[in-house]
């Protein structure tokens, strides 16, 4: 049995709340939509209210105790060391049947710069999982503590759907290629790499080409990364907005949806049942159009990459 399976078994046995939350996930309500050729699921997941409504402004973050630092973690939470720099934990508020949180051992800000190789190494180590990264203004509920998350491979529709989109090659180097993906309801940049160095090189080229506002500490993005037969696939979803207008709307127009990597991967989370019942494919498409980059911005990014 793998170290991860042992960790799950141990936590299911020792931590009642976690056990209950994973059991509840099995009977959770899900509905499905198709937009373009892409499949989307909506998951009614009340336990995610903590994350979806998390205050991530600077003041609120400073005033709370960091829940990813080892001294503040629940007593029942077991951990597995990985590569000296990270700790693998089981996420007690799951979206996936197997959901991990992987914080850095240091309390240091959430940044992808210098960490994409860590993400790729994790994807090779956790080869049954898809690894994901939420930028500090794109869904991370701990923007002050660097971390990744991981969920069972095959759970996110995007992992299969990307192949149905239109992939246009924009850059190739020995060992890796970068593509722009369109026609699947949101724009993503895809990197396919035979080795970590080449994948990292192309990711850095993309990172430098992404737009940034004055208030940003890094380009707004969500990332999915997984390993397939020894090769890496990295999907980067550039973002222009954290929370959509409907998140702040009053009355019947309100939808408590905070899109992050999982949503970009095709699974939208609604912590409130009223939202689960009323959300439509039209709403999902509107949210994607609002928080993702436009075709025009994508063209500017491609120009910068090619020049
Ligand atoms: Zn911390």
| Cα–Cα distance, 161 to 219 (Å, whole number) | 25
Compute the distance from residue 85 Cα to the ligand 1 centre, in Å: 13
In a domain, 237, yes or no: yes
In a domain, 267, yes or no: no
pLDDT tens readout for residues 253-277: 999 999 999 999 999 999 999 999 9
Compute the distance from residue 75 Cα to the ligand 1 centre, in Å: 16
| Cα–Cα distance, 116 to 201 (Å, whole number) | 10
Domain count, the chain: 1
Compute the distance from residue 107 Cα to the ligand 1 centre, in Å: 4
Q: Nearest-CA neighbor of 278 among 255, 259, 247?
A: 255
Region 280-306: mean pLDDT is 97
In a domain, 255, yes or no: no
pLDDT band at 1 (very low <50, low <70, confident <90, very high): confident
Q: Quick one: pLDDT at residue 262?
A: 97
In a domain, 21, yes or no: no
Q: What is the pTM of this model?
A: 0.96
Region 213-235: mean pLDDT is 95
pLDDT tens readout for residues 86-131: 999 999 999 999 999 999 999 999 999 999 999 999 999 999 999 9
In terms of DSSP bridges, do strands 80-82 and 99-103 run parallel, antiparallel, or are they unpaired? unpaired
Compute the distance from residue 183 Cα to the ligand 1 centre, in Å: 39
**Domain boundaries, position 40:** 29-77+111-243+288-306
In a domain, 98, yes or no: no
| Cα–Cα distance, 68 to 22 (Å, whole number) | 20
Q: Quick one: pLDDT at residue 52?
A: 73
In a domain, 90, yes or no: no
User: DSSP characters for 276-299?
Assistant: HHH--HHHHHHHHHHHBPPHHHHH
Compute the distance from residue 140 Cα to the ligand 1 centre, in Å: 13
| Cα–Cα distance, 217 to 229 (Å, whole number) | 34
């Amino acid at each position: 049995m793998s170290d991860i399976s042992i960790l799950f078994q141990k936590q299911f046995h020792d931590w009642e709340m976690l056990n209950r939350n994973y059991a509840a996930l099995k009977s959770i309500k899900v509905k499905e939509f198709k937009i373009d050729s892409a499949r989307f699921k909506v998951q009614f997941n009340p336990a995610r209210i903590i994350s979806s409504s998390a205050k991530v402004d600077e003041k609120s973050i400073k005033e709370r105790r960091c829940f990813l630092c080892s001294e503040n973690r629940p007593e029942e939470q077991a951990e597995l060391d990985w590569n000296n720099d990270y700790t693998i934990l089981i996420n007690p508020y799951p979206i996936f049947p197997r959901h991990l949180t992987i914080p850095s051992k240091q309390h240091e800000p959430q940044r992808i710069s210098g960490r994409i190789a860590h993400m790729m190494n994790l994807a090779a180590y956790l080869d049954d999982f898809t690894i994901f990264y939420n930028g500090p203004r794109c869904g991370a509920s701990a923007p002050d503590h660097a971390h990744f998350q991981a969920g069972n491979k095959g759970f996110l529709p995007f992992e299969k759907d990307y192949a149905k989109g239109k992939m246009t090659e924009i850059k190739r180097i020995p060992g890796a290629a970068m593509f722009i993906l369109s026609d699947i309801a949101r724009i993503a940049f895809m990197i396919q790499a035979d080795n970590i160095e080449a994948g990292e090189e192309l990711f850095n080229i993309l990172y430098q080409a992404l737009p940034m506002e004055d208030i940003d500490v890094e380009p707004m993005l969500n990332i999915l990364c997984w390993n397939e037969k020894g090769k890496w696939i990295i999907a980067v979803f550039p973002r222009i907005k954290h929370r959509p207008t409907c998140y702040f709307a009053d009355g019947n127009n309100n939808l408590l949806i905070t899109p992050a990597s999982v949503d970009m991967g095709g699974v939208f989370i609604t912590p409130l049942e009223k939202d689960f019942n009323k959300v439509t494919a039209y709403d999902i498409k509107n949210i994607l159009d609002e928080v993702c980059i436009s075709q025009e911005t994508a063209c500017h990014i491609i120009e910068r990459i090619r020049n």
